[in-house]
Amino acid sequence: KNQVEQSPQSLIILEGKNCTLQCNYTVSPFSNLRWYKQDTGRGPVSLTIMTFSENTKSNGRYTATLDADTKQSSLHITASQLSDSASYICVVSDNSGGGADGLTFGKGTHLIIQP
């Protein structure tokens, strides 16, 4: 069964500090991996999408990495801001065409930025 595991479950850091969130997956066949940011009470918003051939992708202060060999991804946040407080969700696509959306969602990492 396809699975996406995220760590840590929750994280508290001080404003201005950097942090890294982890995502491990067992999804086959692999098509792409995406990171979403979900503010409290809102829907998820896409940060990055990476395919097998993309090792790194940036979106402002967010940098995602992908190691398709070890089936791991990370999301690095630089110089955190209070507005970064949110849940960050890792989603992996198998795009197997076997029906449905081909997406497996992680449970998310709840990040709190303290002033």
Partner 1 sequence: NAGVTQTPKFRILKIGQSMTLQCTQDMNHNYMYWYRQDPGMGLKLIYYSVGAGITDKGEVPNGYNVSRSTTEDFPLRLELAAPSQTSVYFCASSFHLSGSYNEQFFGPGTRLTVL
List 44, 77, 86, 109, residue binding partner 1 (CB under 8 A): 44
54, β-bridge pairs: none
Asked if 107 touches partner 1 (CB under 8 A), the answer is: yes
DSSP class per residue in 47-108 = EEEEETT--EEEETTEEEEEETTTTEEEEEE-S--GGG-EEEEEEEE---SSSTT-EEE---
Q: Does 68 bind partner 1 (CB under 8 A)?
A: no
Residues 6+ apart with CB under 8 A from 107: 6, 9, 89
Q: Does 62 bind partner 1 (CB under 8 A)?
A: no
- Binding to partner 1 by residue 22, rule CB under 8 A? no
Site for partner 1 in 72-101 (CB under 8 A): 89, 93-96, 99-101
Report whether 111 contacts 88 (CB < 8 A): yes
- The minimum distance between CB 74 and partner 1, in angstroms, equals 18
The reply to whether 49 sits near partner 1 by the rule CB under 8 A is: yes
Binding residues (CB under 8 A) for partner 1: these are: 4, 31-32, 41-46, 49, 51, 89, 93-96, 99-108
